Copies of this chain bind each other. A is one copy, B any other.
Amino acid sequence: MDKQFTIQQISKKMGLTVHTLRYYEKIGLLEGISRNEQGYRQYTEADVLWIDFLICLREIEMPINEMKQFSHLRSQGNSTVTERRKLLETHQEKVINHIKDLQENLLKINNKIQHYKMLEGENK
State the A residues within 8 Å of B (CB).
53, 56-57, 59-61, 78, 81-82, 84-85, 88-89, 91-92, 95-96, 98-99, 101-103, 105-106, 108-110, 112-113, 116-117, 119-120, 123
12 contacts between A and B (CB under 8 A): A53-B112, A56-B108, A60-B102, A81-B120, A82-B116, A85-B113, A85-B116, A85-B117, A88-B116, A95-B102, A96-B106, A99-B99
Q: Are A109 and B81 in contact (CB under 8 A)?
A: no
With both chains docked as a complex, state the minimum distance between the C-beta of A43 and any C-beta of chain B, in angstroms.
21
Q: How many copies does the complex hold?
A: 2
A82 cross-chain contacts in B, Cβ below 8 A: 116, 120
